[in-house]
Amino acid sequence: MKNSNIVEFRFLAEPTDVNFGGKVHGGMVMKWIDQASYACAAQWSKRYCVTISANGIRFIRPILVGQMITVTARIVHTGKTSMHIYVVVRAGYPKEDNIIITNRCFITFLATDETGYPVKVDPYIPETEEDKLLEEAAIEAKHFAKTLDSDFEEKLGWK
């Protein structure tokens, strides 16, 4: 059977999720993104996975307490051991119809064996035109992240 490349989380934004300004904390949104992406990567690889990098995370609109949150994580590109996931967060009050996109990003996970060593993952093959465009964007994001890695290493002496 074909691996499923999508995971969707749905829940309500709670009072404990907010910051001092009364809106959902950015760090909480990043946690939701990381959790949904982990589930997506583990579902695809059937392995324990670790986060490698998160790229282009965008806070487009604030999220408010009581809104229903949908976090959709979707594998859009795979390498040998890495899975590149496109995540979209949507929010809206359950009593209303105006659901909006609040966040999006690319996040990359690596599949590991029991000892933490990287293992190969099944290749993801894009099918639709949208799949192909998302894969292209994910590859660009990966190149950007790697360029940043080498810039840090060469210019700032950090690895």
Ligand X SMILES: CC(C)(COP(=O)(O)OP(=O)(O)OC[C@H]1O[C@@H](n2cnc3c(N)ncnc32)[C@H](O)[C@@H]1OP(=O)(O)O)[C@@H](O)C(=O)NCCC(=O)NCCS
CA-based nearest residue to 69, from 25, 114, 106: 25
C-alpha dihedral (99, 103, 108, 114), degrees to nearest 10: -70
Return the residue of 12, 146, 151, 152 that touches ligand X, per CB under 6 A. Answer: 146
Positive or negative, the CA dihedral 112, 117, 122, 127 is positive
Minimum CB separation of residue 126 from ligand X in Å reads 16
Return the residue of 45, 72, 81, 102 that touches ligand X, per CB under 6 A. Answer: 81
Each residue 83-112 as x (binds ligand X by CB under 6 A) or -, in order, gives -------------------------x-x--
149 forms part of the interface with ligand X (CB under 6 A): yes
CA angle 122, 125, 126 (to 5 degrees): 145
Closer to ligand X by CB, 71 or 107: give it: 107
Choices 12-20, 21-29, 73-81, 95-103; region in contact with ligand X by CB under 6 A: 73-81
Residues 9-48 that bind ligand X (CB under 6 A): none
139 forms part of the interface with ligand X (CB under 6 A): no
Choices 1-9, 23-31, 60-68, 138-146; region in contact with ligand X by CB under 6 A: 138-146
Contacts of 107 (CB under 8 A, 6+ apart): 33, 34, 37, 51, 53, 54, 55, 73, 84, 85, 87
Choices 1-9, 56-64, 77-85, 125-133; region in contact with ligand X by CB under 6 A: 77-85
Lookup: tokens for 21: 């300004």
CB 28 within 8 A of CB 17: yes
Lookup: tokens for 65: 């307490």
Binding site for ligand X (CB under 6 A): 50-53, 79-82, 108, 110, 118, 142, 145-146, 149
